């Protein structure tokens, strides 16, 4: 994922995990290559991609996309509206994500900002649940955890999640890395049973953060045939559609 307001584009090494939250049984963590290749392709984009040829993306195999809506409690992706509506018009399942900056304000405040500017979910069969991008601090490499202790970070994530659920009825997808999760939450197991996990895993090692046992979405590359980051749903297209349905 990206922090749009910094000059360098920092990246994660992450992947998504959800157990049976997808409306069906999630597939095994280490699928065969043939099985993996049959799983729906997706991608995630931000303001860096600007105007996107969505029909071309779908022709190349894209079936879902996450679009960055907000960051912290003051930044909005200026291309969000066109990217979000354009992806739907091209026949892609779509969802919105928020880039967290826990040092700036509370989880509840950032969730409210996100929900006010594109983060809402609706049961239309096309909208994926909101996603929280919580990872290393791109603005200060000495403060990877944004200056929060482990307990405080868990409380921050819980507050964000509670606000999203209160407003939409759904828990957010959590995008993170096993390394960051262990370091900044102390390996908290408080979210794995109820929150879909999006794991960026560029090596294919599929190390999961504490609390999760299955992958749901894997971010496997920062570039490829689709605009933005390359993702793959860990299941069938029917399961992906049920995930959108809630």
Tokens describing residue 88: 């739907």
Give the E-state strand segments of the chain in sequence order.
15-16, 41-45, 62-71, 75-76, 93-99, 131-133, 173-176, 197-200, 217-221, 229-233
Query: Which helix (H) or strand (E) segment is 29 a member of?
Result: none
d(CA 213, CA 197): 10
- Annotate 134-161 with b (16+ C-beta within 10 A) or e (fewer): bbbbbeeeeeebbebeeeebbbbbebbb
Sequence-separated contacts (24+) of 50-53 with Cβ below 8 Å: 50/79, 51/79, 51/82, 52/83, 52/86, 52/87, 52/227
Confirm whether 163 is a catalytic residue: no
Q: Which of 44, 71, 163, 231 is catalytic?
A: 44
Tokens 């919105």, residue located: 96
d(CA 175, CA 60): 24
Tokens describing residue 145: 């955890």
Confirm whether 44 is a catalytic residue: yes
Closest to 120 in 3D by CA, of 189, 168, 179: 168
Q: Which of 133, 135, 163, 201 is catalytic?
A: 135
Q: Phi first, then psi: what are they for 36, rounded to 5°? A: -60, -40
**Residue numbers annotated as active site:** 44, 135
């Amino acid at each position: 994922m990206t922090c749009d307001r910094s000059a360098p584009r920092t990246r994660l090494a992450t992947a998504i995990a959800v157990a049976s939250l997808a409306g069906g049984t999630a597939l095994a963590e280490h699928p065969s290559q043939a099985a993996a290749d049959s799983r729906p392709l997706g991608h995630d984009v931000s303001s860096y991609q600007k105007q996107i040829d969505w029909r071309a993306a779908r022709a190349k195999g894209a079936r879902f996309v996450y679009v960055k809506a907000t960051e912290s409690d003051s930044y909005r992706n200026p291309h969000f509206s066109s990217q979000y509506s354009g992806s739907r018009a091209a026949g892609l399942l779509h969802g919105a994500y928020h880039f967290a900056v826990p040092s700036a304000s509370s989880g509840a405040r950032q969730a409210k900002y996100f929900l006010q500017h594109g983060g809402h979910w609706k049961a239309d069969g096309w909208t994926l649940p909101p996603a929280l991008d919580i990872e290393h601090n791109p603005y200060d490499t000495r403060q990877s955890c944004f200056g929060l202790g482990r307990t405080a970070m868990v409380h921050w994530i819980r507050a964000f999640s509670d606000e999203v659920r209160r407003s939409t009825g759904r828990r957010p997808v959590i995008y993170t890395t096993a390394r960051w999760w262990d370091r900044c939450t102390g390996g908290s197991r408080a979210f794995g049973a109820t929150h879909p996990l999006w794991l960026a895993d560029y090596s294919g090692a599929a190390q999961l953060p504490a609390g999760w046992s299955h992958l749901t979405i894997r971010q496997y590359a920062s570039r490829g045939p689709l605009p933005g980051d390359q993702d793959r749903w860990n299941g069938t297209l029917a399961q992906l559609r049920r995930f959108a349905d809630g």
